[in-house]
Structure 1
């Protein structure tokens, strides 16, 4: 049985600002529906988010970071590094060999945690070893939004737009 607290990657977190409306809606609904519960995210994936933002103009960073800061502070996002077991699995699992080294580490972390995994990344979605852990995004809307102050920060942060190209070379 899979553990209840799901893991996400950078595509879900940054997806709240994606130019693709469907990705943005699914990511936003994920966060607004789980705002009062827990999610997992690796230190590495948090770093990917930062790397994307740091490539943007300072003015965009300034409108984005207040939202990200409050969300990371107020929501129960369980952050973790890679365990030795995940490192060994990433290095030695033939079923993960089609992924880049960074993605093998993330996939191994999901497999070791035995948890649900939300992602928009096509490499993870195509990975047979992850299929039992992948879960489709709820089609429910995010009409309720975040608490008022965070919702205001989110609306302001939408000046920043993420594209698939932003994930390259981070």
Structure 2
């Protein structure tokens, strides 16, 4: 039996649901709407980047955000994965990737090593030639609710949390 290759998302997609840029937000919400009933993959590093961004926010913003995030992670089949030795080796030996942060090199190596489709808003990753065959177009933005009603209500409450592009610069 051939295992299906799951689409991989990074922190820019997950945090993009709360991004200040309406286009980034619409693309991320379109992704989650389209894939809500399907398995997707995030690596432990990217989940940690999301946490690092949120933990830098005020306690109030964390409190309005976390109920949404908790329910989404519970209800959606987001598989979590660490890195293999092959991924570590590829990331450390790819000389054309040395300008990238370690986290981005590891993500790129994971994508290439396992030929995983990647959804990302990251401009540096979009410029990486080795990733071009794996980069995916986001589904069309949606009009209306992105999630089932209970989760949509939590999402609406969580919208007080606003992610700026600079929030990512401090965690890479």
- Same fold at TM > 0.5: yes
Q: C-alpha separation between the residues in 2 aligned to 1:81 and 1:57? A: 29
| Deviations 1:120-167, CA, capped at 9 Å, x for gaps | 011101111100000111224153421111000000000000000000
SS in 1 for 2:117: strand
Counterpart in 2 of 1:58?
Answer: 59
Asked whether the equivalents of residues 28 and 142 of structure 1 are also in contact (C-alpha less than 8 Å), the reply is no
Q: C-alpha separation between the residues in 2 aligned to 1:164 and 1:33? A: 24
Q: TM-score, structure 1 length as denominator?
A: 0.95
- The alignment status of 1:148 with 2:149, answered yes or no, reads yes
Q: C-alpha separation between the residues in 1 aligned to 2:146 and 2:159? A: 14
- The alignment status of 1:35 with 2:36, answered yes or no, reads yes
Q: C-alpha separation between the residues in 2 aligned to 1:88 and 1:127? A: 18
Counterpart in 2 of 1:73?
Answer: 74
Gaps of 5+ in 2: none
* Aligned positions of 1:15-164 closer than 5 A: 15-164=16-165
Asked whether the equivalents of residues 7 and 116 of structure 2 are also in contact (C-alpha less than 8 Å), the reply is yes
CA 1:81 to 1:67, structure 2 compared with 1: closer, same or farther past 3 Å? same
Q: C-alpha separation between the residues in 2 aligned to 1:101 and 1:147? A: 36
Higher strand fraction (1 or 2): 1
Q: TM-score, structure 2 length as denominator?
A: 0.94
- State the Cα RMSD in Å: 1.2
Asked whether the equivalents of residues 26 and 141 of structure 2 are also in contact (C-alpha less than 8 Å), the reply is no
Counterpart in 1 of 2:8?
Answer: 7
Q: C-alpha separation between the residues in 2 aligned to 1:161 and 1:111? A: 32
Q: C-alpha separation between the residues in 2 aligned to 1:67 and 1:24? A: 15
